[in-house]
Amino acid sequence: MMKNGYRIGAVLLAAVLMAGCGPTKPQFQVAVETMKGSKRARDKVTADCIAGFTQTGVQGAALVLDVPEKDAKRVACQRMVAAITAGRLDYEDLQSMIAKRPTAKVVRVMQNR
């Protein structure tokens, strides 16, 4: 039963990121634990993140990440998933990203600094 809850958590986080609304803190925590233990969950969240990018988002990500636009979606989503899974980005950081008000910490982490 718990494995289903974890799968649901990862899918929920992916859906939330695409929709631009925020998960609750418990939903976020379940998604993080799911991604820590499941490469498939990380891949799913990354793929859904990539699919949810707009052209404006691609341009902004390319600028902030200092990568070509063709790589921006993939790099941004991979870095975000890795940072959330590793605990470098937390619930509050995700909320700032969703609100389109990233903090200096978010920028540093997304730039791999």
**Neighbour-count burial of 78, counting CB atoms closer than 10 A to its CB (0-12 exposed, 13-18 middle, 19+ buried):** middle
pTM: 0.80
The residue ranges of the chain whose pLDDT is under 50 are 1-10, 18
pLDDT score recorded for residue 92: 94
Domain-wise residue ranges, the chain: 2-110
Percent share of the chain, pLDDT over 70: 81
If you search the block for the tokens 């791999």, which residue do you land on?
A: 112
pLDDT score recorded for residue 1: 38
Q: Give CA–CA dist 73/61, Å, rounded.
A: 7
pLDDT tens across 17-28, in order? Answer: 545 566 889 988
